[in-house]
Structures are given as structure tokens and as C-alpha cells.
Amino acid sequence: MARTLFLLILMAMVTFVPFTTPEKTKVVEASKETTEVVVSQSPDLQAKIDAILNDERLQGTSTGVSIRNADTGEVLYSYYGDMRLHPASNMKLLTTIAALETLGEDYQFTTEVLTDGSITGNVLQGNLYIKGKGDPTLLEKDFDQFAKDLKAKGIQQINGNLIGDDSWYDDIRLSQDLNWSDESYYTGAQVSALTLSPNEDYDAGTVIVEVTPSTEVGGKAQVKVTPETDYVTILNNTEMVAAGQSKRISIEREHGTNNIVVEGVMPLNGTTSRSWVAVWEPTGYALDVFKKSLKEQGIALVGNADVKVGVTPENATVLTAKKSMTLEDLLIPFMKLSNNGHGETLTKEMGKVVYGEGSWDKGLQVIEEVITDFGVNGDTILLRDGSGMSHKNMIPANEITQLLYAVQDESWYPAFEQSLPVAGESDRLVGGTLRSRMTSEPAKGNVKAKTGSLTGVSTLSGYVTSADGKKLIFSIMFNNYLGFSATSIENSIATTLAGHEF
């Protein structure tokens, strides 16, 4: 009896082990060649971050936090830092680093206008091709310039077809995990090697739809599309109502079509409603705008000319061409404004340049190869797109900070750091998605980091300098949260790092 009682007491002592904070004791050396984690806790820093994470709103949330010394790579704090989580737009950090390493900061996209015929008098006898090679920054004015260049060569008529060539990439327009409900919006725009942006935010494959009041109650509101194009059809189901009433306007494209439905009520004193709407098959959109540019320059398609998609013959002659801004410059709207289309375009471009195939599969292969060369553990990540829209991308916080540590010695690193949003800086091409966050010192102008946001996902990863001058790297990842904004907790952690003294 006594032996049985002793065993029961011993089992109880073994079973009821006090809970300890996870992942805060492992100590190994970190370098660019390894993703093993050294955790050298600063007790004061640990207490500060633990207190922030001890927030009842985080109950049921999957949280990963990693903080490193930027000079040594030493992990100073890790809270579930090895847990695989969805990065949202922090995925763009990986894409940008891979693009800089693979393509180089001076890389430019090219667009060409070619013919398989010849110019006789003022007639181009042959087909006119516009060949896209991925440039997401083409604007209507660039198409106008192409038309002016052709006019300067004496061309007034084209006795042939107008053909758009998007064969530089494959014909898969949307990444595999994009939700169907996102397809109408600029955040889920289709990717084509021949595409067009409506303004200098460079949201390729979209048009801007603006709804403004008209002057008659009971009539319809005014709708404007930029750039002007017949490629989309506006279905105006709006109604004007008296001044002072509430405005309710929705703008959405019907799936599988280019019918853009505008509906709701607009008061006489209502403000403008504006939306960037993704088009269906952007190659045709670019072709339509180019055809309009040709017409404005007095260049006519004659005979039984057709406007269609095709492939440029290898022996075609280049009539005019344009190079895009450099990758270094493109990274500003890409990273500052978190442009999803740029992430997917760069992914396909890397696949094309490295493996001769402009596809997501090959592009993601390049990204994974690059980041694993920088010490990221390829066995603990899953990459599904280049923008972070997928809810299936997975990477731990410790791997993000490892990557951000390892790239600091690269010649292109200044361009990478320059592309990151800066806390509290009101200029949208400086502060970017952090321009309205952490607007006071010590975080303002100090925290340089990429934001990320999906339903139930919020992330922030980047760099900050502590109060005593130590550069730190951090990654904060929240998944599966509900009912509140996790950005306030991210702000608290980043601000605490900015104000900390070691």
C-alpha cells in the first residue's frame, strides 16, 4: 500500500511540470551559412517584449517573433521563432532580395514594336507587333510615344494586322492560390508580359474608375475610366439622390468578363468614389490602348486588318523600343506601396532570365535557391507566389531575420534598404505603408520595415536602431487573429526596440 502511494506521488511530481516560455534557451552560433539559432537573452529586453505579447487579444493567435543583432546575427529574442507562419506581404522581402541578386539593381524591362514587313512610301506593308517583355510600368504616354516614333518614320497606314505578343511569359494569369473574390481588384490583377498601368503607382493590368455626381436627382452619376479604352464596358446602375443623403457606391468587375458594374446612390454633393479595377486578359487591354494611340497619330489599319494576340517572328525588324526604369527605382513603388503585381512579375522574370521559362514554378525556384544561399533553411519554408497573397506561403520569423542579416554585405543592399517603408514619414514614396504608423520618436524615421496584411494575418519585418546605437533586425508575425488590429502590437514592439538600451 505504501509503495503504491509513493508511486502515485512520484507520478504527480513528474506530470505537473511548470510551464516555461518556449524557445528562449537554445544557444548556438549563427552565421550566413547556418540557420541555427543563438538566443542570447537580454533579460530586460525579454521582459519588455514578453509584457507586450502578454496581451489577452492574442489568445488563440499564432505568434512568431525574432530579434537579432544586425552586426553579429545573434538572436536576442525568439518567441516561437521557428514556427512556420504565413508572411503575407513580407513575402516581398524574399522576392526583392532574389531579384536584386539575380537580375541586379540596374536591370530594365524592354518593350519592342516590330514588323515582319517593310515600309513602302507611307505604308507599312506587313504586320505590326508590340512585344511585351514584362514591363509593369508602361503607361498610355509610352504607347503614344511608340505611335509618334512610327509616324516619324513616315508610316500613315498599316497594311497588315496589329498583333500583341505576350509570349515572354506563360499564359497563366493568376497565381495558384489567389482567391476568386480578389480577381476584380488591383491587388489580384492578372499578370501578362504585355500590360499597361493607368498611373504612376504602376498597378499593371488595371483601369481607374471614378464616379462623380451629376446635376439631376434621379439621373445617373458620371463615370470616367482612365485610360480611355473600349476594352472595358461600364454598366452604370447608379442613381443620383438629394444633397445630404448617404453615398453608397460599389465598383466591381464581373468575373470572366470586362463588364464593370457601378451601382449604388450618389448625392448631389457627394465626393468622388475611385477604384482600381483589374481587367480580364490585360494583353488585349494594352493592344486596345495602343490602337487608340496609333489612330490619334493618324496611323490607320487598312484592308481586312485584325487586332489579335500572336507571336513575333524571329526575323522581325525592331521599329522602336523602350526600356523601363531600373529595378532599383521600381523597388520604390513595389515595396513602399506593396504592389502585388510587381512581385508576381519579378517572379516570372527571374524564371525567364535564369531558366528560360517565365512561369511561377521557375521563378519561385529561383527565389528559393537565392534565399537558401543566404542561409534560410529550405526545409522549413513553402513558397507559392511572389507577392504574399497566398495563404499557403510559410516561413518562420527566425528565417526572415536570418535573411535580413545575411544580405547586409551585398553591394545592392543599400537599394534594398532604401525600398523599405519608413515609419512615420508622410511622403507615400518614403513612408509607404508605414507613413501613418509610429509617427513619434524614437520609432519615426528609424523603423524601416515591410508590412504584411491578409485576413487573419499581420506581419512586420525589418530594421531599427536602438537608443544606444545598436542596429537590430526583427520579424513579427501574427496569424489566425480575429476581432482587432494586430498592427498596434507590432508598433509597440518596434517602438520598444527603438527606445531600448542594452
Query: Structural domain of residue 418, as residue ranges?
Result: 43-106+328-499
192 a catalytic residue = no
pLDDT at 205 (0 to 100):
98
Q: Do 155 and 92 share a structural domain?
A: no
Average pLDDT, 10 consecutive residues per value, the chain (502 residues): 42 35 33 47 87 96 98 97 98 98 98 97 97 98 98 97 98 93 93 98 98 97 97 98 97 96 98 97 98 97 94 97 98 98 98 98 98 98 98 98 98 98 98 98 98 97 98 98 95 98 94
Burial zone of 104 (CB within 10 Å; 0-12 exposed, 13-18 middle, 19+ buried) = middle
Where would I find the beta strands (DSSP E) of 268-399?
273-278, 300-301, 307-309, 317-323, 395-396
pLDDT at 142 (0 to 100):
98
Out of 89, 275, 419, 475, the active site residue is 89
Report d(CA 389, CA 89) in Å as an integer: 7
Q: Do 84 and 148 share a structural domain?
A: no
338 a catalytic residue = yes
What values do phi and psi take at 174, rounded to 5? -125, 140
Q: Do 298 and 262 share a structural domain?
A: no
Q: Do 382 and 442 share a structural domain?
A: yes
pLDDT at 20 (0 to 100):
32
| Beta strands across the sheet bearing 222-226 | 222-226, 206-212, 273-278
* Within a domain: 334: yes
pLDDT at 23 (0 to 100):
36
Where would I find the beta strands (DSSP E) of 108-243?
110-115, 118-120, 123-125, 128-132, 157-159, 162-165, 206-212, 222-226, 233-241
Report d(CA 492, CA 27) in Å as an integer: 27
- Overall pTM surpassing 0.85 (yes/no): yes
pLDDT at 41 (0 to 100):
58
* Within a domain: 1: no
Domain total of the chain? 3
- CATH number, domain of 469, equals 3.40.710.10
Out of 78, 92, 167, 352, the active site residue is 92
Q: Do 236 and 90 share a structural domain?
A: no
Report d(CA 144, CA 105) in Å as an integer: 28
Out of 175, 192, 273, 338, the active site residue is 338
Q: Do 441 and 339 share a structural domain?
A: yes
Q: Do 118 and 85 share a structural domain?
A: no
pLDDT at 26 (0 to 100):
28
Residue 112: closest CA among 332, 372, 319: 319
Q: Do 388 and 286 share a structural domain?
A: no
* Within a domain: 423: yes
Report d(CA 197, CA 206) in Å as an integer: 6
Q: Do 332 and 449 share a structural domain?
A: yes
Report d(CA 167, CA 289) in Å as an integer: 19
**DSSP class of 161:** -
Residue 460: closest CA among 63, 21, 97: 63
pLDDT at 439 (0 to 100):
98
Report d(CA 437, CA 459) in Å as an integer: 14
